[in-house]
Amino acid sequence: MHLLVTGGAGFIGSNFVHHLVDTTDHQVTTLDALTYAGDRSNLDGTLSNDRHEFVEGDIRDRELVTELAADADAIVNFAAESHVDRSINDTEPFVSTNVQGTQVLLDVSREVDIERFVQISTDEVYGEILDGTFAESDPPDPRNPYAATKASADLLAHSFYVTYDLPVVITRSSNNYGPRQHPEKLIPKFIKHAADGESLPLYGDGSNVREWTYVFDNCRAVERVLKEGDPGEIYNIGSGHELQNIEITRKILDEVGASEDLIEFVEDRPGHDQRYALDTEKIEALGWEPEWSFEQGLEETVEYYL
């Protein structure tokens, strides 16, 4: 199978490309615009493999996407503007890449009769949940501009399945952590600050809860959905490892061997969702389950960034 992986120089996409090159015999073309969030060096070790080609380019470039998709059997779309705080400051690039970029990929997929289109989405499209878990049948209720653009892309992708019979599957994963993540995100930022003896700026009172999935487990789940997911379906991906932000901060400080005095409570993010949590029964029915405990994953992650 020949896969076109977009956003493959970013955090999750690059781990997915490593996973494909290391554990499958698929041919892989990575398309990435190398925005501030993308880094070619995330693909070190895969670029010399003749089953992998890297193309620097934009998913909104219809001509380029058409040329690349013509040779592909499937598209896995990780490309996105992904940082909530940035979306609060400027929504434009989020609408442009996350919605219009996805539209280009879907249009082209129709034209070239792609066999499979995997849209990588997020638990944030459901909005917050104070008790219990979200199932795939729950309606989107995004509460920040990033999540709203991801929900829009999901709806558009699903409409291509219903209207044109395009074989679209959607994955919605919880927060990922692990190697190759941009240092603007909570875990790499806090590891670095802790190691450098700098303060760890924690939003609000630190009580917000996130479910943390090790990135390798998410990559295995995406591969499973790519192979075995039913067209038109959504699959939640999560680990069940729920932690308040204050708890994860303490664990990082403990792992790095730094003092809790470095924690600095700062003004909360506007519209900060209190808690996300996912029901993952549907993907488990495909034979997937997380392999990494949070303790193992955090240990590896801290070691990687240090």
Work out how close the CB of 35 gets to ligand NAD at its nearest, in angstroms, rounded to a whole number. Answer: 4
Q: Considering the complex, state which of residue 82 and residue 245 has its C-beta at the smaller distance from ligand NAD.
A: 82
Q: Which stretch binds ligand NAD (CB under 6 A): 32-40, 47-55, 84-92, 162-170?
A: 32-40
Token pair recorded at residue 271? 């519209």
Work out how close the CB of 261 gets to ligand NAD at its nearest, in angstroms, rounded to a whole number. Answer: 28
**Is 97 a binder of ligand NAD (CB under 6 A)?**
yes
**Is 46 a binder of ligand NAD (CB under 6 A)?**
no
In 3D space, the residue among 273, 231, 233 whose CA is nearest the CA of residue 136 turns out to be 233
Termini Cα distance of the chain? 37
- Residues with catalytic roles: 123-124, 146
CA angle 193, 199, 202 (to 5 degrees): 100
**Is 189 a binder of ligand NAD (CB under 6 A)?**
no
Q: Which stretch binds ligand NAD (CB under 6 A): 10-18, 191-199, 246-254, 258-266?
A: 10-18
| Contact between residue 7 and residue 79 where contact means Cβ atoms under 8 Å apart | yes
**Is 246 a binder of ligand NAD (CB under 6 A)?**
no
Work out how close the CB of 121 gets to ligand NAD at its nearest, in angstroms, rounded to a whole number. Answer: 6
Question: Which of 46, 103, 109, 122 is close enough to bind ligand NAD by CB under 6 A?
Answer: 122
How far from 284 is each of 119, 131, 150, 289, CA to CA, in Å? 19, 21, 23, 6
**Is 102 a binder of ligand NAD (CB under 6 A)?**
no
How far from 148 is each of 84, 97, 131, 133, CA to CA, in Å? 10, 13, 22, 20
Give the three-state DSSP class for 209. strand
In 3D space, the residue among 152, 156, 172 whose CA is nearest the CA of residue 164 turns out to be 156
**Is 7 a binder of ligand NAD (CB under 6 A)?**
yes
Strand partners, 169: 118
Binding residues for ligand NAD (CB under 6 A):
6-7, 9-13, 32-35, 37-38, 58-60, 78-82, 97, 101, 120, 122, 150, 173, 175-176, 182
